[in-house]
């Protein structure tokens, strides 16, 4: 992950259009019907798995779910806050529920996401725009002492806690060192802390065994020709995950 992902490991691109080079994305390039990927970017999964459902496991679901299960290691009976209720944030909610959290506070400025958050395990949903005070003060008042685990899934520097959201390149974060000196920990996660080649088949098996229902994250299924409509739904906050079918 430390290497540039816009070319394959051999520093070539296998794509072009009208004579111009097109870059890869994360060595996968899933907007292509056929692609070339490094051997270590491939995981073999159960052939019975529906590809239009388990496609979420390549990043979104596994990242959020694993942030709670693997990175934060949420403990039973604990209190969690999740900032951002997109596909990844809602997967964090699912992970917190699976880990046995007793209270999961979902935070987003789009109240249309709240019903889905509660369906997936959130116990409280709050909109920062409904309060005049900083949202961390609201959380402290709600819990009496603050939450045990807090997840940032929006990609904004001023809300970074367990970092799941991806910041713009070159962004910097400042923090009061007393927050760490008093015993808090601050972690980031890539792909939810899974070693994907080993863990992706296990996640798929868990899905087939109905240990979780990630299908609830899929709000739209579109033909590939409507890919731009999928992006617009995302920008407008009207979709959680859109699956494209070739």
Backbone angles phi, psi at 184, to 5 degrees: -75, 155
Q: What is the pLDDT of residue 168?
A: 66
Neighbours of 125 (CB within 10 A): 19
15-63: pLDDT as tens digits:
999 999 999 888 888 788 888 888 888 999 999 999 999 999 988 999 9
The mean pLDDT value of the chain amounts to 89
Name which of 199, 206, 197, 242 is nearest 224 in CA terms: 242
Q: How many residues would you count in the chain?
A: 246
In this prediction the pTM is 0.87
Q: Give the integer Cα–Cα distance in Å for 84 and 122.
A: 12
Q: What is the pLDDT of residue 146?
A: 87
Q: Give the integer Cα–Cα distance in Å for 161 and 152.
A: 6
Domains of the chain are: 1-42 (no CATH), 58-192 (3.40.50.720)
What is the secondary structure of 34-70 as a DSSP string? S----GGG-----TTS-HHHHGGGGTHHHHHHHIIII
Q: 104: which strand partners?
A: 80
Regions of the chain where pLDDT drops below 70: 1-2, 156-171
161-182: pLDDT as tens digits:
555 556 566 667 777 787 777 7
Q: How far apart are the first and last CA of the chain?
A: 28
Backbone angles phi, psi at 180, to 5 degrees: -85, -35
């Amino acid at each position: 992950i430390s290497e540039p992902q816009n070319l394959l490991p051999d520093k070539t691109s296998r794509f072009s259009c009208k004579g111009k080079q097109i870059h890869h994305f994360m060595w996968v390039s899933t907007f292509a019907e056929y692609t070339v990927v490094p051997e270590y970017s491939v995981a073999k999964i159960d052939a019975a798995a529906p590809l239009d459902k388990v496609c979420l496991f390549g990043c979104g679901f596994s990242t959020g779910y694993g942030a709670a299960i693997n990175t934060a290691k949420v403990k039973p009976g604990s209190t969690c806050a999740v900032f951002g209720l997109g596909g990844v944030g809602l997967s964090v909610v699912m992970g917190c529920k699976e880990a046995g959290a007793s209270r999961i506070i979902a935070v987003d400025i789009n109240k249309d996401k709240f019903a889905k958050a509660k369906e997936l395990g959130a116990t409280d949903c709050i909109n920062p725009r409904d309060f005049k005070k900083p949202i961390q003060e609201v959380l402290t008042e709600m819990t009496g002492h603050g939450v045990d685990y807090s997840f940032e899934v929006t990609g904004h520097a001023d809300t970074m806690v367990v970092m799941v959201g991806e910041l713009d390149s070159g962004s910097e974060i400042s923090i009061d060192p007393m927050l760490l000196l008093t015993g808090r920990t601050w972690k980031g996660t890539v792909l939810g802390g899974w070693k994907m080649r080993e863990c992706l088949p296990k996640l798929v098996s868990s899905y087939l065994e109905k240990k979780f229902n990630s299908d609830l994250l899929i709000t739209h299924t579109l033909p590939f020709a409507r890919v731009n409509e999928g992006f617009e739904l995302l920008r407008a906050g009207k979709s959680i995950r859109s699956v494209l079918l070739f």
